Chain A
């Protein structure tokens, strides 16, 4: 029940395309769902996050879609650029829990070709 399943493992899109990364969770107690972006040699950087009281959140070119009944959420990157090439991780946590530890997906390696 603690797992977060992420797909696809890797993704190649052309510049301007809209890559979509999907995640699914089992634990219905999770109530905070962030996405992190990680470049080689760097730590994960918070990109955008959503709570289950909304179905969609947009920040710049990044959009999270959230389906509470299906226990799924996804990241869309609009007008993708070569600089978006990185590994993306979804995560989940229970904010009211003892530690708010993050449970991460396995990551998606995105390559945006010029």
Chain B
């Protein structure tokens, strides 16, 4: 079946440092990868959508300078949270799908704690 793995499962970083998280698709081609963040007491917000061979599309309030994303092939994507601060804490979820008419398969998320 289609699975998405995210690692690390949880991580702690010091305020002002950076943290990279990874997303691995297994059993299908991840043509599109969507990165979401769930801040405490909030819902999942879309950060950006990455489609292989296309420009990465960032949502309002999220920028490439803060959340650079790499999507080098059809099974892997990574996102870095640069210069993390308290407001960046939360659960970062990766969803991948093979095409525009397919449903997303989501990973378990990377929980980021900033101290």
Q: State yes or no: do A and B come from one complex.
A: no
Residues of B near any A CB (own CB < 8 A): none
